[in-house]
């Protein structure tokens, strides 16, 4: 694997410098941006693999910038949020962040999460194994554009987490999938205590389905166990 490119988006110099040293010590190429404008500049000229982004930034904040990052197919996104800011964490995941850490974070934890995420994002071959189109109940999951297309033809671009979760469901119709299985597929990491990542992702996927009248619920909650895809794959 080529040396991964990490882009740190953080306005606080001390945190940014600390992060830079941390990732350089791990052997990554590190780019630093103070704000969204600088971030986009790096995207123009470099193949960025993972973005580590602070939520509180001057100008466009991290939540706004996340929308702009998530459409880039092979970029992973990890948010750094303030302590006890559950709202930011949930919002970040809803917008399509792959993972988050709360400040002050454990550096080792961050590098492990980043490595896990990279194993998901940089391995394009893994995604290429997926059939490019899977049809179910009038819907289409399109692996080339990583989008979900409704029976009426509306297209939803999916963040990687949603795409991978949905793909796992479609590969296992009728089977109960646990949160542990889903989080591993989505982010390559284990479930944490009070982890809302899976539930937020499922909620987002359901929202796409609910955008058009549906006879049945396609993803059903199995209480205490996980989720099950109840549709029919063509
Ligand atoms: Ca900040």
Domain residue limits, the chain: 5-125, 127-229
**So what's the pLDDT on residue 128?**
47
Cis peptide before 151 (omega within 30 of 0): no
Q: How far is the CA of 100 from the centre of ligand 1 (A)?
A: 15
**pLDDT > 70? residue 51:** yes
- What would the CATH number be for the domain defined by 5-125? 3.40.50.2300
The answer to whether the beta carbons of residues 45 and 31 sit under 8 Å apart is no
Q: How far is the CA of 39 from the centre of ligand 1 (A)?
A: 14
Determine the Cα–Cα distance for residues 27 and 5; give it in Å rounded to an integer: 10
**pLDDT > 70? residue 73:** no
144 falls in which pLDDT band (50, 70, 90)? confident
Q: How far is the CA of 55 from the centre of ligand 1 (A)?
A: 7
Environment of ion ligand 1 (residues, CB < 5 A)? 11-12, 54, 56
Q: How far is the CA of 66 from the centre of ligand 1 (A)?
A: 15
Mean pLDDT, residues 93-110: 85
176 falls in which pLDDT band (50, 70, 90)? very high
Q: How far is the CA of 10 from the centre of ligand 1 (A)?
A: 5
Determine the Cα–Cα distance for residues 73 and 100; give it in Å rounded to an integer: 19
Q: How far is the CA of 19 from the centre of ligand 1 (A)?
A: 13
**So what's the pLDDT on residue 221?**
96
Q: How far is the CA of 72 from the centre of ligand 1 (A)?
A: 23
Determine the Cα–Cα distance for residues 136 and 217; give it in Å rounded to an integer: 13
Mean pLDDT, residues 169-173: 94
Q: How far is the CA of 92 from the centre of ligand 1 (A)?
A: 15
Q: How far is the CA of 178 from the centre of ligand 1 (A)?
A: 35
pTM of the model: 0.65
**So what's the pLDDT on residue 124?**
46
The percentage of residues in the chain with a pLDDT greater than 90, rounded to a whole number, is: 50
**pLDDT > 50? residue 183:** yes
Q: How far is the CA of 73 from the centre of ligand 1 (A)?
A: 26
Q: Which fold has domain 127-229?
A: Arc Repressor Mutant, subunit A (1.10.10)
Q: How far is the CA of 49 from the centre of ligand 1 (A)?
A: 21
Mean pLDDT, residues 114-143: 76
Q: How far is the CA of 64 from the centre of ligand 1 (A)?
A: 14
Q: How many CB atoms lie within 10 A of CB 54?
A: 21
CA angle 40, 145, 126 (to 5 degrees): 95
Across 9-18, 48-57, 140-149, 183-192, least confident range: 183-192
Q: How far is the CA of 7 from the centre of ligand 1 (A)?
A: 15
Q: How far is the CA of 37 from the centre of ligand 1 (A)?
A: 15
**pLDDT > 90? residue 59:** no
Mean pLDDT, residues 93-104: 82
Mean pLDDT, residues 27-54: 92
Short-list 105, 114, 94, 145, CA closest to 49:
114
**So what's the pLDDT on residue 18?**
95
Q: How far is the CA of 9 from the centre of ligand 1 (A)?
A: 9
Across 101-110, 118-127, 173-182, least confident range: 118-127
């Amino acid at each position: 694997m080529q040396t991964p490119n990490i882009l740190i988006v953080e306005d606080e110099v001390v945190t940014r410098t600390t992060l830079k040293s941390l990732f350089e010590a791990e052997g990554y190429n590190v780019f630093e941006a103070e704000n969204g404008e600088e971030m986009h500049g790096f995207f123009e000229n470099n193949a960025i693999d993972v973005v580590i982004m602070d939520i509180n930034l001057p100008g466009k904040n991290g939540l706004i910038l996340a929308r702009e990052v998530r459409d880039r197919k092979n970029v992973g996104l990890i948010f750094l949020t303030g302590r006890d800011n559950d709202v930011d964490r949930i919002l970040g995941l809803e917008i399509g962040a792959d993972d988050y850490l709360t400040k002050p974070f454990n550096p080792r934890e961050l590098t492990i999460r980043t490595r896990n995420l990279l194993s998901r994002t940089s391995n394009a071959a893994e995604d290429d194994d997926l059939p490019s189109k899977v049809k179910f109940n009038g819907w289409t999951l399109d692996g080339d554009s990583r989008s979900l297309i409704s029976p009426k033809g509306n297209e939803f671009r999916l963040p990687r987490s949603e795409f991978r979760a949905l793909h796992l469901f479609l590969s296992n119709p009728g089977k109960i999938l646990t949160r542990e299985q889903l989080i591993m597929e989505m982010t390559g990491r284990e479930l944490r205590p009070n982890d809302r990542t899976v539930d937020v992702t499922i909620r987002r996927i359901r929202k796409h389905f609910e955008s058009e009248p549906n006879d049945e619920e396609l993803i059903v909650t199995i209480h205490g166990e996980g989720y099950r895809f109840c549709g029919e794959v063509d």
